[in-house]
Structure 1
Amino acid sequence: MNQHIIPQQWKKNGMACMVAVIFIVSLLMGGLFASPLVTSAADAQPAGIEIELKVGSDTALVNGKEIKVQGMYETKGVTMIPVRVLMKAFELNIQFFNSAHEKSFTLNSKSYRDYSAYVKLGALEAQVGGKVVKLPQPAVEKQGSLMVPLRVFAESLEAVVKIDRKNKTIRITRAADILVDGKHRIGSSKDSWSIAAPLYNPSEPTATSLFGFETHPGAWNWSGSLNANPNAGFTVTIWTEDGGKPLTEDETLEQLKKQIHTSWFTIQKRTLKTSDGSFVGFVAGHNEPFSVTYSQFWILRLPEKTYYIEIFIGNGSVEKHTWVADQLLPTFRASFDDKDANSKDVTLIKQHATNLRTPSSKPTDALRNSY
C-alpha cells in the first residue's frame, strides 16, 4: 500500500495522540497488552537488509519481498526514494507533524540499533542522530508519498548504496546485526547451563545480581554490545534454583514474578521455544526520575533445574528488547560441555578468584578457556 500522507494523514494526529495516551496509561497500569508471542530457534539468526529499486518501477524488493511504492526519480542529479522503503527495510517508525508554518516528520528505529531523524518538508537541512545534516535536495511529498534523497538517508542508516546505471537499478544493503558469538560460550558446569558469548566487547562474567532480580546467591552477569559499539550495550544475568514438576504458563509466570523486585511493571508477555524447552517471560519497565528503563525477565522450568535470565538494555522500544532475546535465548542449553575449549566455565572463574585470595592454594587453570 502506498504511503498517502497529505493531506489525509496529517489530519489524523489528534486520533494518534489519543491512542498514544491510552497506550502509555495501559503500560503504567502494568497490564499485559499483547498476546503471547512464540519465537522458534529458527528465527534467531538475523538476516541482512537488501533493497532493490528500478527506475520507472512502482514496486521495490525489500528483503526478498515485493512491495508497492511511489517510483524513485532523479532531480538535479539527486536520486529521490520513498521513505516507505526505508521504513519497511530498516524497521523505522514514522510520526507526522503539521503546523501552520511547516510540515515535518520523524523516523525512529524499532530494532536494537538506535536511529532517529527529524525532517522538514522543503528544507535543505535535517537532524539525524542529533546532528544537522545538509541535504542535496529537500524532502518532498509526491503523489501522496514522502520522498527523500537516497544516498544521504541510506548512508545515515549505515547502508551501502550500489548503482547499476546500465540496468537502471539501485541496491541498498546492510549486514545483519549480530549480538552473539557463534563459537564461544559462557556457562556453569556446577549449575548445568551454557549460552552464547557476546560477539563484541564482552565483559568478564562476575558473580553478582542486577537490580531487577531480588538478591540471589550464585547469580552471574556479563555484558556485550552491538557491532562493536560500546554505547549499544546489553547485560545478561543468569541464576538457577531447584527444578520441579511442569507448570502451566500462568503458573510459570507467577513463579518468575516472585523473583523480581515489585517496582517493575509488566509490559509484554512472551514465550520463546528453544531446543531444551520453552522460556516464558516478559518485558518489564521501571520508572526512573525522567524516563523508564526496561528489562526482560525469563524462566525455563525443567525437572532438574529452574533457570532465570534477565536481559537489560535500558531505554528503548519493546521491539528492541524482543529483538535481543530472539538472538540470545535460542543459544541457551541446560548443560555445559567441559570438553569444549571454547566454553568459559564461571564455576572455574569463581574457584580461581578464591584461590587467589588463599596464598596456600595451588595454581589453577581456571582461565584456560578465555575467549
Structure 2
Amino acid sequence: MIDLNKMKLNRIYLNFMLVLGLTLAIPFGSAAAAASTVESSLHKPLRSDAVLKIGSTSAVVNGMTMTVQPVYEKNGVTMAPVNVLIRMFRLDYNYDQKNRSFWFKTRLFEQQQLSFKLGERKGESNNGLKIRTFTLSAAPFEKKGSLMVPLRDIVEQLGGKISYDAKTKEIRIKGVDKPVTDSKYRIGDSSNSWSIAAPKGFKPESLAKKEDCDGCFAISGSAGDRPYSLIFSVSESSSSLTPKQLQEETIAQLKPSQVVMESRFAKQPAGEFSVVSTSWNNAFSIQYNEYWTIQAGKRIYSIVISQDNYGNGRIVGERDRIALAFMETFKTSFHSGDPNLFDIYEN
C-alpha cells in the first residue's frame, strides 16, 4: 500500500539550484479529495511550432490546422495575424480598444510580457525583473478584424526561431525549447532500484549528503523563472495492483483542500503510470502537484512533481512539460556500472 503520509519535506538540495527563501510545501493526508476526477488519455509533449504560407488562409499550428488572415510581405517585412502566435506560444493576451494597445504574456518556460500600440513601432518587454524597449520593423495594425504584427520581430522576442523557403513561400516557426533534464548524468537509488535523469546543469560535486527522509528523496530545479521539486518514495506491497487501483489509493490519501483537476494513465518506457493532478491554495500562491505512481514487482514507486504559481499565471502546461521530460527517463532499475549514474543511497 502507498503511504503518502511518510513523504515529508526534508530534501536534498542541489546547490546550484537552491532558491533562497523558497519553501515548497507538499501536502499529504488520509482524507479523500472532494472533487470528482476526469479520466483522459496520455498527454503528449507540448508542441510549439507553426507552418504558414505567404498568401494562404490556412496555417498548421502545434499540429492543428486553423484558418487565418493571409500572411503577406511588404517592404521586406512579413506581416502575420497575431492569433497564430497566441496559439503557438500559448500566450495570455489583452487588447485595450480605447488606447489601441495590446500585450502578450507567456504561460510557459519563463515570464515575459510584450506590449505594443497599433500604428507605432515601439515595443516594450517586461520579464518581471527588467523593462526594456525595442523597435519593430513595421507597426502593428488591424485588418478585417485581425491584429497583424511583424512576424520575425515577435517570434524572436519570444525566443523562437523562424525560417523561410523562398521557393515554396513557406514559413516555419519553432518555439523556445529549454531542456529540463541533463543529457549526461542520472541520479538513482541502488537500495530501492530506480534511476532518473538529473536536472539540467547537474554537477556531481554538488550532490549533497542524503538526509533522513523516511524513505523518500527529493531534488529541486528551475525551469525558466519557476522552481519545481520532485519527491521520490518507494513502498512495498504483497498485492499486484492495477494502475486504476493505484490511482484510487492516491486520491484517497489527498487532503480535503486539494482539488483533483484530472486523473489519467500514462504509458512511459518504465510502464503504465497512474497520474493524478491536483491544485490547492497555499499561503501566498496556488500549488500544482502531479502524482505519478507505478508498480514493478513488489515495489510501488511514487513520484510527486510540484510547482508553485507565485502570481505568474497559469503553469499547468509547464508542469506537464517538466513531468514528461523526467518521467520519460525514469527506470525501475539501477545499473551500478554506469559512471554517470550517481547513487543517492551512498551519499
Q: Name the CA shift for 1:256/1:156 in 2 (closer, same or farther; >3 Å).
A: same
Matching residue of 1:21: none
Q: Name the CA shift for 1:85/1:30 in 2 (closer, same or farther; >3 Å).
A: farther
Matching residue of 1:235: 229
Matching residue of 2:327: 329
Deviation at 1:253, TM superposition (A): 2.9
Per-residue CA deviations over 1:220-276 (Å, capped at 9, x if unaligned) read 1112344xx5x3443211011112423355542342246555553332223212233
Per-residue CA deviations over 1:290-315 (Å, capped at 9, x if unaligned) read 43122222222344111111112321
Amino acid in the other structure paired with 1:133: T
Per-residue CA deviations over 1:98-117 (Å, capped at 9, x if unaligned) read 55x23554434344444433
Secondary structure of 1:138's match?
coil
Q: Name the CA shift for 1:112/1:175 in 2 (closer, same or farther; >3 Å).
A: closer
Q: Is contact 2:159-2:176 (8 Å) kept?
A: no
**Residue pairs, 1:274-353, within 5 angstroms:** 274-315=268-309, 316-349=314-347
d(CA) in 1 for partners of 2:118 and 2:283?
35
Amino acid in the other structure paired with 1:107: F
Per-residue CA deviations over 1:132-170 (Å, capped at 9, x if unaligned) read 534433332212222112232111111233455676554
Matching residue of 2:28: none
Deviation at 1:64, TM superposition (A): 6.5
Count of residue pairs the alignment pairs up: 305
Percent of pairs identical after alignment?
Answer: 29
**Residue pairs, 1:1-371, within 5 angstroms:** 31-32=35-36, 34-39=38-43, 43=44, 49-62=48-61, 67-75=66-74, 78-90=77-89, 92-97=90-95, 101-130=98-127, 131-136=131-136, 137-163=138-164, 168-174=169-175, 176-201=177-202, 204=207, 207=210, 217-226=214-223, 229=224, 231-247=225-241, 249=243, 251-257=245-251, 263-315=257-309, 316-349=314-347
Per-residue CA deviations over 1:6-28 (Å, capped at 9, x if unaligned) read xxxxxxxxxxxxxxxxxxxxxxx
Secondary structure of 1:89's match?
helix
d(CA) in 2 for partners of 1:340 and 1:283?
33
Q: Is contact 2:232-2:303 (8 Å) kept?
A: yes
Q: Is contact 1:179-1:327 (8 Å) kept?
A: yes
Per-residue CA deviations over 1:108-135 (Å, capped at 9, x if unaligned) read 4344444433444445444433435344
Secondary structure of 2:35's match?
coil
Deviation at 1:284, TM superposition (A): 2.2
Amino acid in the other structure paired with 2:78: T
Per-residue CA deviations over 1:168-199 (Å, capped at 9, x if unaligned) read 55443346332223442211110111111122
- Name the larger-Rg structure: 1
Q: Is contact 1:266-1:285 (8 Å) kept?
A: yes
d(CA) in 2 for partners of 1:119 and 1:208?
50
Q: Name the CA shift for 1:106/1:271 in 2 (closer, same or farther; >3 Å).
A: farther
In structure 1, list runs of 5 or more residues that go unmatched. Answer: 1-28, 210-215, 350-371
Q: Name the CA shift for 1:96/1:314 in 2 (closer, same or farther; >3 Å).
A: same
Alignment root-mean-square deviation, CA:
3.3
Q: Is contact 2:37-2:260 (8 Å) kept?
A: no
Higher relative contact order (CA 8 A, sep 6+): 2
Secondary structure of 1:323's match?
helix
More helix by share: 1
d(CA) in 2 for partners of 1:63 and 1:98?
27
Q: Is contact 2:50-2:88 (8 Å) kept?
A: yes
Per-residue CA deviations over 1:17-49 (Å, capped at 9, x if unaligned) read xxxxxxxxxxxx96246433424xxx55x76x5
d(CA) in 2 for partners of 1:256 and 1:94?
33
d(CA) in 1 for partners of 2:145 and 2:174?
26
Q: Is contact 1:245-1:303 (8 Å) kept?
A: no
Q: Name the CA shift for 1:292/1:134 in 2 (closer, same or farther; >3 Å).
A: same
Amino acid in the other structure paired with 2:114: A
Per-residue CA deviations over 1:182-221 (Å, capped at 9, x if unaligned) read 4422111101111111223566266459xxxxxx512111
Matching residue of 1:9: none
Secondary structure of 1:281's match?
strand
Q: Is contact 1:200-1:225 (8 Å) kept?
A: no
d(CA) in 1 for partners of 2:249 and 2:268?
20
Q: Is contact 1:208-1:218 (8 Å) kept?
A: no
In structure 2, list runs of 5 or more residues that go unmatched. Answer: 1-32
Deviation at 1:63, TM superposition (A): 5.7
TM-score by length of 2: 0.73
Q: Is contact 1:104-1:118 (8 Å) kept?
A: yes
Secondary structure of 1:38's match?
coil
Q: Name the CA shift for 1:205/1:278 in 2 (closer, same or farther; >3 Å).
A: farther
Q: Name the CA shift for 1:243/1:125 in 2 (closer, same or farther; >3 Å).
A: farther
d(CA) in 1 for partners of 2:208 and 2:250?
23
d(CA) in 1 for partners of 2:240 and 2:115?
50
TM-score by length of 1: 0.69
Matching residue of 1:357: none
Deviation at 1:93, TM superposition (A): 3.7
Q: Is contact 1:97-1:104 (8 Å) kept?
A: yes
d(CA) in 2 for partners of 1:108 and 1:206?
40
